[in-house]
């Protein structure tokens, strides 16, 4: 355990950020799974759009690396187009 006051505060901040980031990543995984499951149905495009929007927001906040976000979005879009053809 840290003895220095600034490090104690920093540890608390890190715990809060970790919890926030974990929740964001979990939500992205859930939305991605829902979108992939919906491929081929009427609501597929809406679910893919929702997942892509959430991925963009996470990348903007720094939760995801921009290239990771781009890769995930690309795979979602590809799954939507390949199933609809």
**Percent of the chain at pLDDT above 70?**
96
What is the mean pLDDT of the segment spanning 60-75?
Answer: 96
Domain ranges across the chain:
26-84
Local confidence band at 23 (pLDDT 50, 70, 90 cut-offs): very high
For the full predicted model, state whether its pTM sits above 0.75: yes
Residue 2 has pLDDT above 70, yes or no: yes
The 3-state DSSP class for residue 4 equals coil
The 8-class DSSP code of residue 39 comes to T
What is the mean pLDDT of the segment spanning 3-21?
Answer: 96
In terms of DSSP H, where are the helices of the chain? 5-38, 44-61, 66-84
Local confidence band at 80 (pLDDT 50, 70, 90 cut-offs): confident
In the prediction, which pLDDT does 85 show?
57
Distance of alpha carbon 56 from alpha carbon 85, whole angstroms: 26
In the prediction, which pLDDT does 16 show?
97
């Amino acid at each position: 355990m840290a003895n220095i006051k600034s490090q104690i505060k920093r540890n608390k901040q890190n715990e809060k950020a970790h919890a926030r980031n974990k929740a964001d990543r979990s939500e992205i995984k859930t939305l991605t799974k829902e979108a992939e499951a919906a491929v081929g149905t009427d609501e597929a495009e809406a679910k893919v759009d929702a997942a892509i929007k959430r991925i963009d927001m996470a990348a903007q906040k720094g939760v995801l690396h921009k290239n990771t976000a781009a890769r995930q979005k690309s795979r979602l879009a590809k799954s939507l187009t390949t199933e609809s053809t």
